[in-house]
Each structure stands twice: as structure tokens, then as C-alpha cells.
Homo-oligomer: A and B are copies of this chain.
Amino acid sequence: MAGVNLGIIGAGRIGRLHAENIIRHIPKAKIQIIADLYPDQVQAWAKDFDIPRVTADYREVLEDENIDAVLICSSTDTHAAFIIEAANTNKHIFCEKPIDLSIDRIKAALAVVEQRGVKLQVGFNRRFDHNHRKVRDLVAEGKIGDPHIIQITSRDPSPPPMEYIKVSGGLFLDMTIHDFDMARFLSSSEVEEVYALGDVLIDPAIGRAGDIDTATITLKFASGAIGLINNSRRATYGYDQRVEVFGSKGSVLNLNDTPSSAILSTGEGVISEKPKYFFLERYKESFILEMMEFIDAVINDADPPVDGEDGLKAALIAVAAKESLKQNRPVKIREVD
């Protein structure tokens, strides 16, 4: 295949971001059609990018035999159904995270993907981030020996809107799921047991919505390594995204990216820049790279770098974490699988 004809289902913030990245950086992929519940809003910018068709009906995307692959960027509750329909119409699939809030529905979707032989990549974009990838590469090269302790600090600058929180599936499935995937990515080992602590320390409204805003999760890996994740929905200084892998031969960690490297020294102190504000700034390049690798996988008929199994496993850890928090005890993955 020389090029890929793409359809996009759901073109809110993240769908539009993918569209722009493809147009600017991936000439081998052509976006032929976008389906969105609000086609007029999409039309406004799609025109500037010479995208031929915008529709309110996602079926137009799936029924178009010219389309090789679809990006599913709609709300989480639609992912599994769209994956199944797309697989059944022989489209390759890029789906945003999480695949679904229900393990059963994820498995049902993956079964169809498997059966139809289409490719499925899940949007764990952080694997493509220069800082995290470098850590993973150094670990994979054996520079730190066998991993013993994996630490992930992952804090948002501010909580999402309450309406979003209510349908998000909770902190672990919405936010920490990235960190669960990162833990697997960095350790090259599977999580066997989870212990989660969490609380409402930032906004009581989050608690009233049945969610938490602050959490730590301990992971026990098959390899013997231990993982520690800490999350907050509000870091006043910006998006805090750091990892460390400590092992038998050493340690590798990364720091936050900043808008500039300028350091101001005055009588008040020595002041450097806050981290890049949020995920659109911080993970900008990673969104381009994940899409490039998806398009390459389609063109070269290769395995996508993050697949449905990865999506399932991160969700299993999230569900186990939820259960652990509820019962205040360590929960094994196999208890929820």
C-alpha cells in the first residue's frame, strides 16, 4: 500500500488534533471523511485543510470502501461498538484510550478485531514521548540492569469539568490508565497485583460525583519489580510528568519539559520555568509520532506498536485498582480478569 485513506469518527479536541497532525506531517495519509455529531462545527476548520467530506453519520465512514483505516475519537462509551463495526467493514483502527470502561466489552471488541484480522492501535501516546521513550530505551538496552522500582509521577494542572468526570469511569480508568500503560512499557513486565489508595483532597464536588482526585497505586510485577504511581488532579505549577526506573545496575529518570530553559536569578531567588502547561503542549510530538507509526503499520502490514492487548491490560489494572480502593486491600489482576 502506498498511501492510506483515512476516516475520522469524532472530531472534538483530540480528533481535530490528529487531523491537523496528519495534514501537516504525514503526507502518506489522506483524510477523506470526518463524521461528527456536530458536522457544522467541524466543517468550519475541515475546509481549510481540504478535507473532502464531513458528515453527521459515522456509517458513511464505515461504508466507504475507499477508506483503509479509521480513527475513533468519539466519546469512550462508543468506542467498543465502533471498533466492532469498523472491524466488520475491514477497516484498520486507531482508537483513543480507554477502549471501554468494561472489561467484557473490551474483550468482545478485541475478539472481532482478531477475527477480522484488522489492525488496532490504542492511543497511549505517552509511549511516543521523547522523554519516556528515552527512559524505556535505556532500560531496554540494559543500562540499569533488571528493573526493581518504577516510579511514575503524573499530575494534571487542574481537574476536568464535572460533567466529564461524571462519565469518565473514574480517575483510574480515565487518567491513571496512561500510567498503568507506562508502567508496563517501562518495565517490560506484567502487573500481577495492585494496591490503591485515594482520596478527595482537592474538590469535594469530585467526591460527590463518586470519584477521587488524589491517588497512589502500588504495582507488583511478575518480574519481582515494584511500581509506584502517584496522581493528582491539580498541580498548581502545571502538568507534572516524570518517571524513574531503578534497577540492579543504576537508575534512569526524566524531568518535565519547560517552555524555555531560561533561569532568572534575582534577590528573590533563582526562578526557572514551570512545566509545559498540559498534555497538548507537553505531548505534542508524541501525538504526531503515534499516528506516523500507525500509518506505517497499515502501509507495511506490520503490527502496530501499541495494540488491543495493551489496551485491555491497562484497563484490567485500572479495574483492579478500583476494586482495591473499594476494599482497601491488594487485588490480583486475575481476580478481575
Residues of A within 8 A of B (CB): 24-25, 27, 48, 130-131, 133-135, 138, 143-144, 146, 148-149, 151, 153, 155, 195, 197, 199, 201-202, 214-216, 218, 220, 224-226, 228, 230, 232, 234-237, 240, 246, 248-267, 269-274, 328-330
Contacts and interface: CB of A to CB of B under 8 A. Distances in A.
Given A27-B48, A149-B216, A216-B226, A131 B260 contact: yes
B328 A262 contact: no
A283 to B, nearest CB: 13
Given A24-B24, A130-B260, A260-B130, A266 B253 contact: no
A266 B271 CA distance: 11
Number of copies: 4
Contact of A250 (B25, B226, B264): B264
A274 B269 contact: yes
Given A134-B262, A201-B224, A226-B197, A270 B267 contact: no
Given A228-B216, A262-B131, A236 B201 contact: no
A128 to B, nearest CB: 12
Contacts of A261: 131, 254-257
Contact of A263 (B149, B246, B248, B254): B254
A232 B226 CA distance: 11
A224 B199 CA distance: 7
Given A237-B251, A254-B263, 13 more contacts: A143-B264, A144-B264, A151-B153, A218-B218, A230-B246, A236-B250, A252-B263, A252-B265, A254-B261, A254-B262, A269-B273, A272-B272, A328-B330
Nearest to A259: B130
Contact of A265 (B27, B48, B218, B274): B274
A330 B202 CA distance: 24
Nearest to A246: B232
B267 A250 contact: yes
Contacts of A214: 148-149, 226
A236 B251 CA distance: 8
A240 B153 CA distance: 18
Given A149-B230, A226-B214, A253 B246 contact: no
Contacts of A330: 195, 328-329
